[in-house]
């Protein structure tokens, strides 16, 4: 390592005082932990909402004790109204997509580990980085505040389709102030993510330490970089779209509300708006958002598996190329969410083709994982189990995507639980398994303590079996024409399906309770866990070259020099079967890509 | 008559190989393995400003596509003549880019250690600032003229987009003015980095070009 003699662009002095150290901190590691804490709060809120919904779907007339405390009008006598079911569904989706699946794998772990993995002292714009978290936090508060104003949160779903999102209170409970708060929250969230993307991109391009060429970046760093490029494009489009929604509400403009629209016998005072315009703007963000949630998980899974396989992937470059290809293609496929929107059928064909194409890089990624796993002596620990779980969920959920990519089939399945099962597995659960893998893998470095492996494995198996029990039956329900977004199943043809819903509800509650094992493990290990060595997994990337937990400036006044590709496992060195990136030791590498 | 001699601003040093921060052109470690070691990477402000420009471009691209789709989706679009002051405003913001470029070159000369007697390095930055403020004022005048004609935000989709696009642009111009004030403040304290000045200049030229694009869009579509 070299002494730091230059005034690096990202340099700033250690903070003094509690507020600057732990609240308004400029330190990327603290900001990463703050994002993680926010995601943790958000995921438990989202999970409780899903429990309430599932109980209602299984036993429609069941009074849920205490529900009236959340909303007197939405749950009089603890019985949920149909509208309140939709309001909870909207909040569940919004909280999970934005404040869990985007913040945890990308903003939380990326903030903590990207600068360390490239060998930097911090992000180049620490104040923007701090702002990005606090802006996101404000966005979360604004969204949650809609529970407590007027007639509650919006009921339009996380996609907020027009014209319902723009007509105001006449559209139903929450369609007045609730929508405005939703749109304001998402617009604010976009600002936070744009600030974060600015830091991630400049960190990756400009702050890499000597010797850290682009191809020597670990796959996690590549995943965060690609994700930040996607985020920069997607959130820059969603933000103005949300502003247009707000203007339709508060300024009387007509961007999204068509002429002669009558709701509840009232002619709406708008003219000529385009309902499809919202869908185009939203899904131009919305589909890349799927990959914003999952690509960091791909990087994490690769990183964790490689460390535990003790060998690199079959091809580092192909893995990077496939993630980049997915990012680019993600902007060409968004119309597959709109096959039933009434757009020109030829447009459906145009969007169907790239949708099928995007499965090629996704399939190659899976084959790279499986091919690399084949014949390896995988170290089984909680992190590697969750990484395997990620692959399982990604494949199981992704296979149904082949069907949904065909417009003719999607028309039949689009409004059913088949789609709910598909996106929950491929996007939500897979990404959350990636978050768990990252947590179990990096917790020692983040806190200086080891997590309990036994509890971790119990948590994995309950979560793995539980999520399959929840989401696989959704596909069956969808094929049986069980329409989604219904708050009760009163039609005769749906009656036989209610026992399936009850099974799913029980599975959801059991799986949810299992998450408290994780929460206990997280909190207990943080304070009373076994002290962690600097490199407990015998890993090679730069985050394992620093003390545990890393000092304020990451490398203790030294700057590492990188001598090796990121994953030099299966070699003979003085340390064992691996050589760290920052080690000058020369070894005969078995896995060098030319 | 005494002349105040300003201390030349500090020149941001190029990073040397041993100082790390390899950046995206640094392909190999110090010891080398047969590949070339280059000693310079762009300061993050240089890369960062392109990232910002890209994000803003995407935002206005989205609004442009919204305008085109909205205009084509219904027959309620009513065209109107743009307030003539917009053309004066265009001249003002183009001039501001010219004066900023002059300022940037003079400051660069000063950073090279060549002082121009009697020349305040901040003078052209102040002139740019004034042009920028005049542009913002001019845009406000354009809004008042439209209002006087009875064209408000919600009057027609055409007026909605006019107010929306011009207001969004003015917000970005105000951001640029804050950036210029920051640059002037740093210059007065002799703490200005070349990369900061270059980044502020690029941003300002970008909002200038963006306005010319918006004017053409509004002229063709409204």
Whether chain A has a CB inside 8 Å of the CB on B52: the answer is: yes
CB contact under 8 A, A208 and B26: yes
What domains appear along chain B, each with residue ranges and CATH number? 44-221 (1.20.120.80)
Non-local (6+) Cβ contacts of A499 within 8 A are none
Q: Which residues of A touch B47 (CB under 8 A)?
A: 201-202, 205-206
- Cα dihedral across residues A157, A159, A163, A168: positive or negative: positive
Instruction: Pick out chain A residues at pLDDT < 50.
Output: 1-9
pTM, 2 dp: 0.92
CA B86 vs CA B82, B83, B145: distances in Å? 7, 6, 11
Q: Quote the CA–CA distance of A526 and A549 in Å, as a whole number.
A: 12
What confidence score (pLDDT) does residue A141 get? Answer: 98
What confidence score (pLDDT) does residue A187 get? Answer: 98
**Higher pLDDT among residues A21 and B39, named by residue:** A21
Q: What is the DSSP string of A15-45?
A: P-SHIIIIIS---HHHHHHHHHHHHHHHHHH
Please state the φ and ψ torsions of residue A326, each to the nearest 5 degrees: -60, -40
Pick A5's closest partner by Cβ from B19, B37, B62: B19
pLDDT one-digit tens code per residue, A168-187: 888 888 999 999 999 999 99
Q: Which residues of B touch A246 (CB under 8 A)?
A: none
Confidence of residue B110 (pLDDT cuts 50, 70, 90): confident
Interhelix angle A219-250/A275-309, rounded to 10 degrees, is 160
Please state the φ and ψ torsions of residue A266, each to the nearest 5 degrees: -115, 125
CB contact under 8 A, A206 and B23: yes
Q: CB A341: neighbour CB atoms within 10 A?
A: 16
Whether chain B has a CB inside 8 Å of the CB on A557: the answer is: no
What residue ranges do the domains of chain A occupy?
28-273, 310-531
Q: What is the DSSP string of B158-178?
A: HHHHHHHHHHHHHHHHHHHHH
Same fold for the pair A28-273 and A310-531? yes
Q: CB A316: neighbour CB atoms within 10 A?
A: 24
Q: What letters, b where the CB count within 10 A reaches 16 and e where it falls short, cover A271-290?
A: bbbbbbbbbbbbbbbbbbbb
How many Cα atoms within 13 Å fall on the side-chain side of residue B10? 9
Q: Quote the CA–CA distance of A575 and B76 in Å, as a whole number.
A: 74
How do the residues of chain B divide into helix, strand and coil, expressed in percent and rounded to 5?
65, 0, 35
Q: Where are the beta strands (DSSP E) in A278-422?
A: none
Q: What angle do CA B3, B6, B9 make, to 5 degrees?
A: 165
Q: Quote the CA–CA distance of A120 and A204 in Å, as a whole number.
A: 9
Predicted confidence (pLDDT) at residue B39 exceeds the cutoff of 80? no
Closest CA of chain A from B63, distance in Å: 7
Beta bridge partners of A416: A483
Residue of A497, A467, A471, A472 lying closest to A482 (CA atoms) = A497
Q: Quote the CA–CA distance of A356 and A363 in Å, as a whole number.
A: 11
- Cα dihedral across residues A559, A562, A566, A569: positive or negative: negative
Q: Could you say which residues from 132 to 191 on chain B have a Cβ atom under 8 Å away from some Cβ of chain A?
A: 153-154, 157, 160, 164, 168
Note whether B149 and B80 are within 8 A (CB): yes
Map residue A557 onto helix, strand or coil: coil
Whether chain B has a CB inside 8 Å of the CB on A482: the answer is: no
Q: Show the tokens assigned to A359.
A: 């499965």
Q: Quote the CA–CA distance of A375 and B115 in Å, as a whole number.
A: 70
How do the residues of chain A divide into helix, strand and coil, expressed in percent and rounded to 5?
65, 5, 30
CA A297 vs CA A370, A433, A434: distances in Å? 16, 8, 5
Q: Quote the CA–CA distance of A52 and A142 in Å, as a whole number.
A: 22
According to the 3-state scheme, what is the secondary structure of A203-215?
HHHHCCCCCCCHH
Q: Could you say which residues from 113 to 142 on chain A have a Cβ atom under 8 Å away from some Cβ of chain B?
A: 119-120, 124-125
Non-local (6+) Cβ contacts of A45 within 8 A are A95, A144
Query: In B32-122, where does DSSP find H-type helix?
Result: 44-73, 85-111
What confidence score (pLDDT) does residue A578 get? Answer: 92
Closest CA of chain A from B118, distance in Å: 33
CA A498 vs CA A41, A47, A48, A401, B197: distances in Å? 31, 21, 21, 25, 66
Residue of B188, B211, B183, B185 lying closest to B198 (CA atoms) = B183
Closest residue on chain A to B43 (Cα)? A206
DSSP B153: T
- What is the distance, to the nearest Å, from the Cα of residue A347 to the centroid of all Cα atoms in its chain? 29
Non-local (6+) Cβ contacts of B81 within 8 A are none
Closest CA of chain A from B65, distance in Å: 9
What confidence score (pLDDT) does residue A22 get? Answer: 86
pLDDT one-digit tens code per residue, B19-34: 333 333 444 444 433 3
- What is the distance, to the nearest Å, from the Cα of residue A307 to the centroid of all Cα atoms in its chain? 23
Pick A206's closest partner by Cβ from B17, B44, B74: B44
According to the 3-state scheme, what is the secondary structure of A381-426?
CHHHHHHHHHHHHHHHHHHHHHHHCCHHHHHHHCCEHHHHHHHHHH
Pick B153's closest partner by Cβ from A205, A253, A259: A253
Note whether A415 and A337 are within 8 A (CB): no
Q: Show the tokens assigned to A83.
A: 């509208």
* Strand-pair category, A262-263 with A569-573: unpaired
Note whether A212 and A194 are within 8 A (CB): no
Q: Could you say which residues from 5 to 34 on chain A have a Cβ atom under 8 Å away from some Cβ of chain B?
A: 5-6, 8-10
What confidence score (pLDDT) does residue A236 get? Answer: 97
Instruction: Classify domain A310-531 at the CATH topology level.
Output: Cytochrome C Oxidase; Chain A (1.20.210)
CA A182 vs CA A189, A242, A274: distances in Å? 10, 9, 20
Non-local (6+) Cβ contacts of A413 within 8 A are A403, A404, A419, A478, A479
Pick B20's closest partner by Cβ from A2, A124, A232: A2
What confidence score (pLDDT) does residue B46 get? Answer: 87
Residue of A227, A199, A239, A193 lying closest to B60 (CA atoms) = A239
Q: Quote the CA–CA distance of A52 and A88 in Å, as a whole number.
A: 8
Residue with tokens 């399959």: A468
Q: Quote the CA–CA distance of A477 and A467 in Å, as a whole number.
A: 16
Whether chain A has a CB inside 8 Å of the CB on B70: the answer is: yes
What confidence score (pLDDT) does residue B118 get? Answer: 65
Closest residue on chain A to B160 (Cα)? A253
CB contact under 8 A, B21 and A277: no
Instruction: Report the run of H or E that residue B137 belongs to, with start and end.
Output: helix B123-148
Residue of A464, A467, A461 lying closest to A509 (CA atoms) = A467
CA B132 vs CA A47, A537, B91, B172, B181: distances in Å? 50, 57, 11, 11, 11
Q: Show the tokens assigned to A531.
A: 């002290």
Whether chain A has a CB inside 8 Å of the CB on B7: the answer is: no
Map residue A332 onto helix, strand or coil: coil
Non-local (6+) Cβ contacts of B26 within 8 A are A208, A210, A211, A212, A213, B37, B38, B39, B41
Whether chain B has a CB inside 8 Å of the CB on A588: the answer is: no
Q: Quote the CA–CA distance of A367 and A291 in Å, as a whole number.
A: 18
Residue of B70, B102, B96, B71 lying closest to B177 (CA atoms) = B96
Q: CB A317: neighbour CB atoms within 10 A?
A: 11
Instruction: Report the run of H or E that residue A503 belongs to, with start and end.
Output: helix A498-528
Domain A28-273: give its CATH architecture.
Up-down Bundle (1.20)
Q: Percentage of chain B surpassing pLDDT 90?
A: 61
């Amino acid at each position: 390592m070299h002494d730091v003699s230059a005034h690096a662009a990202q340099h700033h002095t250690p903070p003094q005082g509690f507020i600057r150290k732990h609240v308004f901190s400029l330190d990327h590691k603290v900001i990463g932990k703050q994002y993680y804490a926010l995601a943790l709060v958000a995921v438990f809120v989202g999970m409780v909402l899903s429990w309430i919904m599932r109980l209602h779907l299984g036993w429609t007339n069941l009074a849920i004790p205490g529900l009236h405390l959340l909303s007197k009008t939405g749950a009089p006598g603890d019985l949920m109204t149909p509208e309140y079911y939709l309001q909870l569904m909207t909040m569940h989706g919004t909280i999970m997509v934005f404040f869990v699946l985007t913040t945890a794998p990308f903003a939380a772990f990326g903030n903590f580990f990207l600068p360390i993995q490239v060998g930097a002292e911090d992000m180049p714009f620490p104040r923007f980085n701090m702002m990005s978290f606090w802006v996101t936090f404000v966005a979360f508060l604004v969204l949650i505040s809609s529970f407590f104003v007027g007639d509650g949160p919006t009921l339009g779903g996380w996609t907020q389709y027009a014209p319902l999102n723009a007509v105001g209170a006449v559209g139903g409970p929450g369609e007045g102030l609730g929508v405005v708060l939703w749109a304001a929250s998402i617009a604010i969230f976009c600002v936070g993510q744009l600030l974060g993307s600015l830091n991630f991109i400049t960190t990756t391009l400009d702050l890499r330490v000597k010797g850290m060429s682009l191809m020597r970046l670990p796959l996690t760093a590549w995943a965060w970089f690609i994700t930040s490029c996607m985020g920069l494009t997607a959130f820059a489009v969603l933000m103005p779209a949300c502003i247009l929604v707000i203007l339709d509400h508060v300024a009387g403009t007509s961007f999204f509300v068509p002429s002669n629209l009558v709701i509840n016998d009232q002619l709406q005072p708008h003219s000529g708006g385009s309902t499809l315009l919202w869908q185009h703007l939203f899904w131009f963000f919305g589909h890349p958002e799927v990959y914003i949630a999952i690509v960091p998980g791909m990087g994490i899974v690769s990183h964790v598996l490689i460390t535990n396989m003790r060998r690199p992937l079959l091809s580092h470059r192909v893995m990077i190329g496939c993630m980049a290809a997915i990012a680019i293609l993600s902007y060409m496929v968004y119309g597959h969410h709109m096959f039933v929107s009434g757009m020109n059928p030829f447009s459906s064909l145009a969007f169907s083709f790239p949708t099928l194409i995007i499965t090629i890089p996704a399939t190659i990624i899976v084959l790279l994982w499986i091919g690399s796993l084949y014949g390896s002596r995988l170290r089984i620990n909680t992190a590697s189990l969750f990484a395997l779980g990620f692959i399982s969920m990604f494949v199981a959920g992704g296979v149904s995507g082949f069907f949904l990519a065909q417009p003719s089939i999607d028309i039949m399945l689009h409004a059913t639980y088949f789609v709910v099962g598909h996106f929950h597995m491929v996007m939500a659960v897979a990404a959350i398994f990636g978050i768990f893998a990252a947590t179990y893998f990096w917790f020692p470095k983040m806190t200086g303590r080891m997590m309990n492996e036994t509890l971790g494995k119990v948590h994995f198996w309950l979560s793995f079996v539980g999520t399959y029990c929840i989401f696989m039956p959704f596909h069956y329900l969808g094929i049986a024409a069980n329409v989604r977004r219904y708050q009760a199943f009163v039609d005769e043809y749906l009656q036989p399906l209610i026992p399936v819903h009850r099974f799913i509800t029980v599975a959801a509650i059991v799986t949810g309770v299992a998450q408290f094992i994780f929460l206990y493990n997280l909190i207990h290990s943080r304070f009373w866990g076994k002290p962690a060595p600097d490199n407990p997994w015998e890993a090679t990337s730069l985050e394992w070259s620093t003390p545990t937990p890393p000092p304020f400036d990451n490398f203790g006044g030294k700057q590492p020099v990188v001598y090796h590709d990121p994953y030099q496992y299966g070699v003979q060195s003085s340390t064992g079967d691996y050589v760290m990136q920052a080690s000058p030791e020369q070894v005969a590498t078995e896995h060098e890509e030319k | 008559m005494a002349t105040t001699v300003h201390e030349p601003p500090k020149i941001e040093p190029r990073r040397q190989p041993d100082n790390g921060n390899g950046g995206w052109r640094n392909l190999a470690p110090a010891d080398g393995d047969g590949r070339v070691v280059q000693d310079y990477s762009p300061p993050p402000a240089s890369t960062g400003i392109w990232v910002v420009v890209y994000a803003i471009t995407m935002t206005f691209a989205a609004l442009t596509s919204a305008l085109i789709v909205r205009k084509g989706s219904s027959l309620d679009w009513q065209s109107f003549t743009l307030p003539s002051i917009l053309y004066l405003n265009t001249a003002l913001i183009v001039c501001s880019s010219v004066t900023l470029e002059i300022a940037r070159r003079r400051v660069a000369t000063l950073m090279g250690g060549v002082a121009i007697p009697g020349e305040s390095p901040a003078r052209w930055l102040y002139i740019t600032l004034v042009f920028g403020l005049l542009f913002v004022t001019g845009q406000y005048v354009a809004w008042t003229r439209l209002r006087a004609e009875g064209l408000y935000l919600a009057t027609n989709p055409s007026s909605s987009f006019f107010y929306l696009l011009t207001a969004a642009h003015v917000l970005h111009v105000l951001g640029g003015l804050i950036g210029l004030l920051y640059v002037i403040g740093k210059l007065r304290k002799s703490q200005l980095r070349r990369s900061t000045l270059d980044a502020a200049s690029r941003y300002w030229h970008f909002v200038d070009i963006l306005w010319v694009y918006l004017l053409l869009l509004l002229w063709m579509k409204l």
